[in-house]
């Protein structure tokens, strides 16, 4: 959920991202976040993390509403993915993946409200073990992103096209692979699932940039599905 007087352009950042790579500037944003490791499709910790994020987010939403705070717009689940050995990430050795799952939060959410929401949620579900969800600000700055249409398992061509676009535009990859799930994970037709693939980047060293611009920049990189 998110709601501020000077809200970023959510259409450009996540809601109406095209199927060809584009460059965006991502401001510092406030998130609920939780870390873990393992195959997202098989790992129980991954499912528990999603449940904890949504449980806390909606508990805080209703707490704020009871206090007269304007109801925020629900925002999609997001995930950062990486591995100590990045070949494990690129070759889909998912058991070695590390991840951070995140939900965007409105300005009114603070650490005190999170503590109160956690206590309230634990009272309702006395046997529950909530993962270590934290509140943090996260700034990515300059990024390239593209909309992937289809199953998660078929993202590789889209990611390769995005990385190629970054290199041909005179940039180098930095930061963590970022996914924004516009479709609810695990529901609906996999062929119609929409996922924003985002990659932070920085200006490449001059020599690399010169090599990259020898080829014309492909403005239609990514998946052709």
Same domain, 154 and 115: no
**Count of domains in the chain?**
2
| For residues 194-220, average pLDDT | 70
Q: What share of residues in the chain are helix, strand, coil (percent, to 5)?
A: 35, 25, 40
Q: Is the pLDDT of residue 85 over 90?
A: no
**CA dist., res. 208 & res. 202, Å (int):** 12
| Residue for token pair 């990259």 | 212
What are the C-alpha distances in Å from 3 to residues 30, 46, 177?
A: 11, 27, 25
CB-count exposure of residue 183 (10 Å: 0-12, 13-18, 19+): middle
Same domain, 46 and 129: yes
8 A C-beta contact, residue 211 and residue 137: no
As separate numbers, helices (DSSP H) first and strands (DSSP E) second, the chain gives: 6, 9
**CA dist., res. 144 & res. 167, Å (int):** 11
Same domain, 133 and 123: yes
Angle at 35 between CA 12 and CA 8, to 5 degrees: 20
Query: Domain range spanning residue 160?
Result: 10-27+140-225
Specify which residues 180 forms β-bridges with: 78, 196
pTM, full prediction: 0.84
Residue 5 maps to a domain: no
Backbone angles phi, psi at 107, to 5 degrees: -60, -30
Q: For residue range 181-193, list pLDDT tens digits in order.
A: 999 877 778 899 9
**Ranges 1-10, 57-66, 152-161: which has the least confidence:** 1-10
| For residues 93-116, average pLDDT | 92
CA 171 to chain CA centroid, nearest Å: 21
The sign of the torsion formed by the CA atoms of 137, 38, 24, 71 equals negative
Residue 200 belongs to a domain with what CATH number? 3.20.80.10
| For residues 120-128, average pLDDT | 76
Same domain, 36 and 69: yes
């Amino acid at each position: 959920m998110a709601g501020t007087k000077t809200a970023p352009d959510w259409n450009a950042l996540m809601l109406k991202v095209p199927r060809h790579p584009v460059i965006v500037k991502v401001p510092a944003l406030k998130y609920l976040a939780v870390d873990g490791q393992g195959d997202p499709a098989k790992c129980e910790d991954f499912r528990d993390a999603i449940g904890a994020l949504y449980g806390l987010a909606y508990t805080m939403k209703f707490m704020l509403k009871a206090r007269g705070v304007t109801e925020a717009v629900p925002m999609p689940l997001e995930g950062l993915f990486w591995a100590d050995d990045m070949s494990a990430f690129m070759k889909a050795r998912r058991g070695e993946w590390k991840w951070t799952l995140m939900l965007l939060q409105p300005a009114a959410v603070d650490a005190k409200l999170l503590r109160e929401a956690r206590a309230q949620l634990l009272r309702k579900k006395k046997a529950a073990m909530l993962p270590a969800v934290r509140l943090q600000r996260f700034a990515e700055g300059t990024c390239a992103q593209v909309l992937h249409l289809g199953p998660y398992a078929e993202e590789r061509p889209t990611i390769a096209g995005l990385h190629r676009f970054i290199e041909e535009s005179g940039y180098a990859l930095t930061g963590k692979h970022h996914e924004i799930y516009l479709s609810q994970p695990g529901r609906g037709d996999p062929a119609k699932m929409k996922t924003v693939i985002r990659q932070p980047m920085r200006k490449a060293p001059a020599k690399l940039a010169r090599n990259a611009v020898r080829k014309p920049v492909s403005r239609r990189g990514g998946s052709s599905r």
